[in-house]
Amino acid sequence: MRVDHTDPVPVVNDKPEEDVLLNKWAEQDYEFGFISNIEQDIVPKGLSEEVIRWISAHKEEPSWLLDWRLKAYRHWLTMPSPQWAHLEIPAIDFQNISYYAAPKANAKLNSLDELDPEIKSTYDKLGIPLEEQLILAGVAVDAVLDSVSVVTTYKEKLAEKGIIFCSFSEAVREHPELVRKHLGKVVPYTDNYYAALNSAVFSDGSFVYIPKGVRCPMELSTYFRINAAGTGQFERTLIVADDEAYVSYLEGCTAPKRDENQLHAAVVELVALNRSEIRYATVQNWYPGDANGIGGIYNFVTKRGICQGVSSKISWTQVETGSAITWKYPSVVLLGDRSTGEFYSVALAARAQQADTGTKMIHICKDTTRRIVSKGISAGRGQNAYRGLVKVRESATNARNYSQCDSLLMGDRCGAHTYPYFEINCPDAQVEHEATTSKIEEDLLYYCQQRGLPTEEAIALIVNGYAKEVLDKLPMEFAVEARKLLAISLEGSVG
Amino acid sequence: MLEIIDLHASVDDKPILKGLNLQIRPGEVHAIMGPNGSGKSTLSHVLAGRPGYDVRGSVRFNGQDLLDLAPEERAWAGLFLAFQYPVEIPGVSNTNFMRSALNQVRNQRGLSALEAGDFLKIMREKAALVQLDPSFLSRPVNLGFSGGEKKRNEIFQMAMLDPRLAILDETDSGLDIDALRIVAEGVQKLRREDNSFLVITHYQRLLDHLKPDIVHVLMDGKIIRTGDHTLALELEEKGYDWLKAKFV
Ligand SMILES: Nc1ncnc2c1ncn2[C@@H]1O[C@H](COP(=O)(O)OP(=O)(O)OP(=O)(O)O)[C@@H](O)[C@H]1O
Ligand SMILES: [Mg+2]
C-alpha cells in the first residue's frame, strides 16, 4: 500500500501584498440577479408536521411517501446541525423559511404554449431555450422554478426508447414502484442533517430512468432557478441506469440577487446497475452574495451515487462558481466488482464566498478504481476547502485510488485548505494523493499582457487553463458556458 | 518610432539603467550588445512595462508617452518583446492564446475580430514562415518546449501580432544553426519600411543574417558606443575590455 499525501493542515496564503492587482477584488455584477414577476403559491413560513402534510397533500402523494417524509422530519428534529466543515455558517432560522413556492396555475401543461409567458421569459433571460425546436444539439431540459418542475422537454422522443425523464412529482404519480424502490436507498434520510431536512420537505426535482441496454441519445439537463423570496429550495433528483444503460446528465442553477440568504438543500441519488454508466455534471451559479458577504445562497447538498452493478461507472463533474456557502461532497460507493468512480471539480470562492467541497469514495468490492481531480480557485476573501475521504474496506482487494487536488490563490486575503482522510483496511490498496498550492505568477500575467491581453482577460485565460482538465469533462456546450462563468465570476476582481 | 532620453531604472534602490539614450527610426534594425548583467533585458522589460522597476526619463513611441501606458496598451500600440526566458501557460493552447491576443490587438486597432477560418489560415501561414511544426499550435503555450522551440515560438507570436517595434532579447541563444537561419530569414521577411527591430544578442552570427543598420554597446546601464555593423565585428574580435578601459 502506498499513501502519499500532505497532512490535513490548512494551507493559508500568507504572502504579503506583493501585487496590488490581484488584491482589489471588487464586486462584479451578478448577471442572473433579476427577479421575475410570477404569481406564486407560497406556503406560509415555518416548519412543522402540518407543513409537511400540506406539501404532501398538495402534491397528491401516496401515503407511503407522506410516512417517509414524516419519519425523516422526526429524525431531523433529533439531529444537531453539522459543525465540522471549514465554514462559518450563520445560524439558520428554519421557522423563517417557506418550504413550498410554486408558480400559480401550474396545472398540467399540454404544450409549451400554455406556459406562463413570464416564466418563459425567465428562462429566456437565463439563456435556456425551452422551445424544443430551439434546443440545439439535442439537449432535453427539465426546468425547476422554486419548488416545482415547470416543464420537461423532449419527453415523447425519449419515451420511444423507454427512457423516463420527468419531474419528481410526476414520477411519484406515474412510476411509483420505481421511485419507491430507489428513493432514499443511496442517501437515507438518516444520512445527515440537510439530507434529513430535504427528505421531509422536498418539493420537486428530476427523475430519470434508463432501461436495460439503452444509451440515452441526448444530454439530459435540469435548470434550477430560485425566484420567490423567503423560500428555500429542496429538490431531489433520482437517476437509475439499468444494466448496460448510459446517460449523461447536467444541472445548472441560478437565483436572483437578494440581501437575504436563501437555503438550497438538495439530494441527488444515482444508481448504476451492471455495466451501466452515469455521467453527472453540475454548473452551479447560485447568487454568491456581494463583496461584503451580504446575501447569497447557502448550498448544502448531498450527492451520492452507488455503483451497484459489476463494471459500472459513475462520474461527477462539477463547476461551482456561485453560492455564498457551498457544502457538497459528491460521492461514489463502489459496490460492484470492477466498478469505477470519478470526481472532477472546479470550485471557485471569490468575494466573501466559502466553499467546502470534495468527495467520499468507499471501495467495497474488488478491483475498484477511483479518480479525483479537484481544482480550487480562491480570490478576494474567498475560502476554499477540499475534503476527501477514501475508505477501502477489507473486502475491496486491488482497489486503486488516485487523487489530485490543486489550489490556486489570487491575492493575499483568501485561503485554501486541504483535508484528505484515509481509512485503508485492505493491504493491497494503491492510494495516491497529490496536492499543490500555487499563485498566478506576476510574470505569467505580464507575459499575457505583453501579448495584448488586458489583466482580466489574462486571468480568465490562465484560470481556464488551470481548470482545463475538469472543463474538458463537460459536454461541449456546457464547457463553453462554464468557461464564461469562470471568467465572469473573476471579472471586476482585479485592476 | 522610438526615442529614449536619459532613461534610468532601478530595482529595490539598485540602479540598473543609468541615463540611457537611444533613437530608432521606422524601417531600421538596431542591435544591442553588451556584457552579461549590463542591463539589456532590463531595458527591454522597462520598455514593455513589466512591473517592479522605478523608472525615470522619457520614452516616446510613435508620438505616445510609452511609460504612461500599461503593458497591454504598449502591445496595442505595436510593441512586441520576444522574451529571453519565455513563460509557460499550462492548459492554454498556443492557438487559443494567439486567438485571444490577436483579436484583442485587432480590436484595439479598430479591426474586427477574425472568423475562425481566417484566423487559422493566418496562423498556418505564420507558423510556416518560422517553420514551426503545426503540432506546436495545439500544445499549451511553451509548456515542455525545448529552449530553442520556445524561442521559435516567440518569433511565431511576433509574426502573428505584426508589431511596429519588435524587441528580440537573445532570441538567437539556444537556437541551433538551422533554426537561427530560419528565424533570421523570418525576421527579414517581416521587415518593412514602417516597422523596426531592436535585437539584443551576444553573437555575430544572427547579425550576419540580419545586417543591422546600427549597433550599440550597452555597458553598466548606458550606451557607451554606437556604430555600424562593423562595430559588431570589432567586438567579436576584441571583446569588451578595450571599451571598458576606454570609457568606464
Ligand atoms: N529584479 C531584480 N532584482 C535585483 N537585481 C536585478 C533584478 N533584475 C535585474 N537585476 C540585476 O540587474 C543587472 C542587469 O540585469 P539584466 O537582466 O538586464 O542583464 P542583461 O544585460 O540582460 O544580461 P544577460 O546578457 O546575462 O542576459 C544584473 O546585475 C541583474 O542581476
Ligand atoms: Mg538578458
Residue whose grid cell is 401543461: A109
| Model confidence pLDDT, tens digit, residues A65-89 | 999 999 999 999 999 887 766 777 7
Asked if the Cβ–Cβ distance from B51 to A442 is below 8 Å, we say yes
Q: In the predicted model, what is the mean pLDDT of chain B? A: 92
Burial of A109 (0-12, 13-18, 19+ CB in 10 A): middle
Helix (H, G, I), strand (E, B) or coil at B167: strand
**Using CA atoms, how far apart are residues A114 and A41, in angstroms rounded to an integer?**
18
Please enumerate, as own/partner, the contacts of B174-182 that have beta carbons within 8 Å and a separation of 24 or more. B174/B147, B174/B148, B174/B150, B175/B148, B175/B151, B176/B148, B179/B148, B179/B151, B179/B152, B180/B205, B180/B206, B180/B209, B181/B209, B182/B130, B182/B131, B182/B152
Of B16, B46, B223, the one to substitute when testing ligand 1's pocket (max ligand atoms within 8 A of C-beta) is: B16
Asked if residue A322 has pLDDT above 90, the reply is no
Compute the average pLDDT of residues B151-157: 95
Beta-carbon separation of A442 and B108 below 8 A: no
- Is 50 exceeded by the pLDDT of residue B181? yes
Answer yes or no: do B72 and A454 touch at CB < 8 A: yes
Cα separation of the two ends of chain A: 48
pLDDT digits (tens, 9 = 90+) for A395-439: 999 999 999 999 998 888 888 988 888 899 988 889 898 889 888
Least confident of A47-51, A96-100, B108-112: A96-100
CA B159, B163, B166, B168: dihedral to nearest 10 degrees? -30
Is the pLDDT at A94 greater than 50? The verdict is yes
pLDDT tens-digit readout, A241-272: 999 999 999 887 665 666 677 788 899 999 99
d(CA A472, CA A464): 10
Q: Considering only the beta carbons, identify the residue of B87, B92, B104 that sits closest to A452.
A: B104
Q: Average pLDDT over chain A, rounded to whole?
A: 80
Relative to the alpha carbon of B168, which ligand is closest? 2
Residues belonging to chain A with any Cβ–Cβ distance to chain B shorter than 8 Å: 19, 441-444, 446-455, 457, 461-462, 464-469
**What is the ipTM, given to two decimal places?**
0.96
Q: Hey, whose CA ends up nearest to atom 7 of ligand 1?
A: B11
- Establish whether residue B37 lines the binding site of ligand 1, counting it when its CB lies within 6 angstroms of any ligand atom: yes
Place of cell 493575499: A412
| Backbone conformation region of residue A419, classed left if phi is above 0, alpha if psi is from -120 to 50, else beta | beta
Select the residue from A449, A464, A484 to test the B interface by mutation, using most B Cβ atoms within 10 A. Answer: A449
Distance from CA of B217 to the nearest CA of A (A): 26
> Under a CB-based contact definition with an 8 Å cutoff, are residues A329 and A387 in contact?
yes
**Residue A443 with chain B: CB contacts under 8 Å:** 50, 87
Cross-strand pairs, A360 = A389
pLDDT above 60 (res A134): no
Burial code (b: 16+ CB inside 10 Å, e: under 16) for A334-362 equals bbbbbbbbbbbbbbbbbbbbbbbbbbbbb
Residue type, A13: N
